[in-house]
Amino acid sequence: MNEISREIKTRQDMASNLQSQIQDMDQIASLKKPEVEPVRKLFREEIDKEIKMQRRYSFRDTFLISFIFFILGVIVTEIITGGLKF
């Protein structure tokens, strides 16, 4: 019984969340062109920031992984050629 009531509560919360989102979308849809332009610019700026952060992290992560494999390659080469003795 408790499981059913939890499921009902979860679905009610989800439904109220969706209702809130629908109201927000209706308000956005009712905006006129001069009102839409600032909202569009704001979204565009946020998306551009996110893309720049992704590129920065991607470059940093790629560089770090490449450097680690480079160091491992040097160590393995030294071990194989007999330069390093363990």
Confidence of residue 85 (pLDDT cuts 50, 70, 90): low
The number of distinct structural domains making up the chain is 2
Same domain, 20 and 37: no
Give this prediction's pTM.
Answer: 0.37
Residues spanned by the domain of 14 = 1-30
Around 50, how many Cα atoms within 13 Å sit in the side-chain half-sphere? 6
Distance between CA 21 and CA 36 in Å, rounded? Answer: 18
State how far Cα 44 lies from the chain centre.
Answer: 16
Same domain, 38 and 15: no
Same domain, 39 and 18: no
Same domain, 57 and 39: yes
Same domain, 48 and 11: no
Distance between CA 39 and CA 56 in Å, rounded? Answer: 26
38's enclosing H/E stretch is: helix 33-81
* 25-54 tens-digit pLDDT: 888 778 777 777 888 888 888 888 888 877
